Amino acid sequence: MKIAGWRRILGWVGLYGLWIAISLFTLLPIYWMIVVSARSRVQLFDAPTLLISSFFSQNYLKPLTDPVFQRYLTNSIIVATGNALFVTILALLATYALSRWRLQGADNIFFWTITNRMAPPAAFLLPLFLLYTQVFKIGNNSLFDTQAGLILLYCVFNLPFAVWLMKGIMDGIPIELDEAAAVDGASRRTVLMRVIVPLAAPGLAITFILSWVFAWNEYLFAATLTSVNARTITTGLAEFVTVTGTNWGEMAAVATISILPALVFVVFVQRYIVTGLTFGAVKE
């Protein structure tokens, strides 16, 4: 075999070796979390090892059977799904208008939308807390500690990202298709539903997926703007840190359970992720 062939083989071996090393480094914390969730309190303070020699099921029984944590999990599912639906629909309508209606200052509107995502979330904590507890209030009811409040709040932070993602996808759909449908007598609503939506389906899927994952994993606002009724599964992890110590086993078990829905969700729709992210990347 020629030297060039050996160099090519060694290059591929090095590339795959680097990829495997990065993957192991990334997955090691997740594996360690699973190891901790499978051990009792006594085993946790033994000599550290990466092997799972036994499985302490009690760590999982309490989160799965406790009504409090079942409510946290239900809240997370409702909030993440509701947010993803709202964000995807609003991003579709916004990018359709920005891309097709030739609005004056559309580029400035698009840039302003993106800048809203650049601000640090912690800067909004105090204003949002006052708005949710004092301003957005009808009688004794307010948006504080409600599922609707979290859904609307996550829309504010996830929508700019969704608009940025959908803008490239919308620009990748030839406008001549809209014009051809309009010549046939189709209204803008018909063009949107019959032409744009089917072609942008991969982009809509990835927008929904990423918005769902972002809302599912969010902790800062959920911990600040909820108290009892609307707390999510991520905020429930803090309840294992008490004045008498930290229950690492149950905390790791709840963390493992909390990543399973997102993991399963992404695995089943992973083929849409690459398609959606690369849609419209190459133009004629």
139-160 tens-digit pLDDT: 678 889 999 999 999 998 899 8
Q: Highest mean pLDDT range out of 53-62, 99-108, 231-240?
A: 231-240
Assign 241 to helix, strand or coil: strand
pLDDT of residue 87: 94
More confident residue, 244 or 148: 148
Rg over alpha carbons for the chain, rounded to the nearest Å, is 24
Q: What is the mean pLDDT of residues 222-245?
A: 86
Nearest to 249 by CA among 18, 7, 60: 60
Query: What is the Cα–Cα distance from 273 to 207, expressed in whole angstroms?
Result: 9
Q: CA angle at residue 207 from 201 to 208, to 5 degrees? A: 90
* For residue 38, pLDDT beyond 80: yes
Whether residue 241 is predicted with pLDDT greater than 50 in this model: the reply is yes
Query: Which is nearest to 166 in space by CA: 246, 83, 89, 230?
Result: 89
Q: Indicate the pLDDT class of residue 284, thresholds 50, 70 and 90.
A: very low
Cα 111–114–117 angle (5° rounding)? Answer: 155
Q: Which two tokens stand for residue 46?
A: 């033994």
Model confidence band, residue 215 (pLDDT cutoffs 50, 70, 90): very high
Q: What is the pLDDT averaged over residues 196-202? A: 86
d(CA 14, CA 57): 41
Give me the pLDDT at residue 283, please.
Answer: 47
Q: Enumerate long-range contacts of 123-128, CB under 8 Å, 24 or more apart.
A: 125/220, 125/221, 125/224, 128/153, 128/221, 128/224, 128/225
Determine the average pLDDT of the residues in 20-46: 87
- Bridge partners of 246, per DSSP, are 241
Reported as type and span, the H/E element at residue 160 is: helix 147-171
